[in-house]
Amino acid sequence: MPNGADVIPRATARCVAVMMMAGSLAVAAAGAPPREAPAQGDEQRQAVRDVILGAIHHRPQRDGPADPSTRAWLDAHREALDGVRPSGLAEQPWGLSAVRPGLEGNPPLMFLYVLDWHASGRLVVYGLTGGFKRAYLFNDPDQKELPAMPQGASTVIDVPRDPPDRLASVVVLELQGKLEMAPLVVLPSDDGHVDLHARDAIVHGRMVRYEPDPQKNTVGYWTDARDWVSWPFEVKQPGTYAVDILQGCGKGSGGSTVEFSIGPTQVLKVTVEDTGGFQNFVKRRIGEFKVEKADRYTLTVKPVNKPGQAVMDLRQVTLTPVTNAPAEK
């Protein structure tokens, strides 16, 4: 874990070489959905991602990009890649992160490289709980402070709804003391059941989100069937676990097919029920998972289709042990 108080001389920064990469790159389309054509958008994001990873892990590239827009992005963001190193945070669904120790009297910084900008105007930094003084946009010359607040084991930063940069936007955190991080894994209760609350869900996509209002308290705004959510969790005992969900769905929006899965082979395919309202939650038992050993797993929830306005609202998933096999020795 990096210590924000460290100070190193600028001579140790070796980023210019690692910021270069081969190949051409077209300009990424701006803003929130509708998204770019999948092949083009994926190719652009992967190319920028490779540049950032090269800087973080000090992997130099021989040649620079041929595309002028990509070269312009690199030139504009050199300072955000100069002398950085891994942050210690887990990889984020929206992109990557890195830290730079304090240089020549300047404060230590964390850089959040956001390749998938969420349409809600809220950036969730999963696993970050403290250790920073303020947040601001890299391309803001006034460095106007962005509101930030804790949310469980994460931090939520209020950002513009539209991405500041068409290829990848950078949010800067000015660090203060030691970075504070928390594991994202959901632990079982004493009796072995696992409650996966909406507030602990990791969001993958640009529309679906955790809605914290008390009357909602749900994963919602699921208007794009390409978005999905996940929960890392742990079980202490192997065995069979019944799977219950609390789901709501607005009138006329039922019928979406959604897959709840643990790994590639255990998949529960569910048809969303119309409950008469997105916040009219009903409890449903959707099947069982078999867990062969005590370990950490990830539950993913991915829509297959969306015939109505939205997929559903999902407040909670509960895994309850039905039969527990003896724990491994």
pLDDT score recorded for residue 42 = 64
Separation between Cα atoms, residue 55 and residue 290, nearest integer Å: 42
The 10s digit of each residue's pLDDT in 155-192 is: 999 999 999 998 899 999 999 989 999 999 999 999 99
Q: What is the DSSP letter of 207?
A: S
- Give Rg (Cα) of the chain: 21
Q: What phi and psi, each to the nearest 5 degrees, are found at residue 264? A: -80, -20
pLDDT at 39 exceeding the cut of 50: no
The residues that bridge with 202 in the sheet, in sequence order, are: 230
Are the beta carbons of 288 and 270 closer than 8 angstroms?
no
Identify the CA nearest to 100 among candidates 79, 74, 114, 115: 79
Q: Number of helices and strands (H, E) in the chain?
A: 3, 19
Ordered domains of the chain (ranges, CATH):
10-181 (2.60.40.1180), 194-324 (2.60.120.260)
Mean pLDDT on 86-90: 93
- The DSSP secondary structure of 242-296, one letter per residue, reads EEEEEEEE-TT----EEEEEETTTEEEEEEPP--SEEEEEEEEEEEEEEE-SSEE
| pTM attached to this predicted model | 0.83
Does 45 score more than 80 pLDDT? no
Q: What is the mean pLDDT of the chain?
A: 85
Q: Which residue has the tokens 């945070």?
A: 89
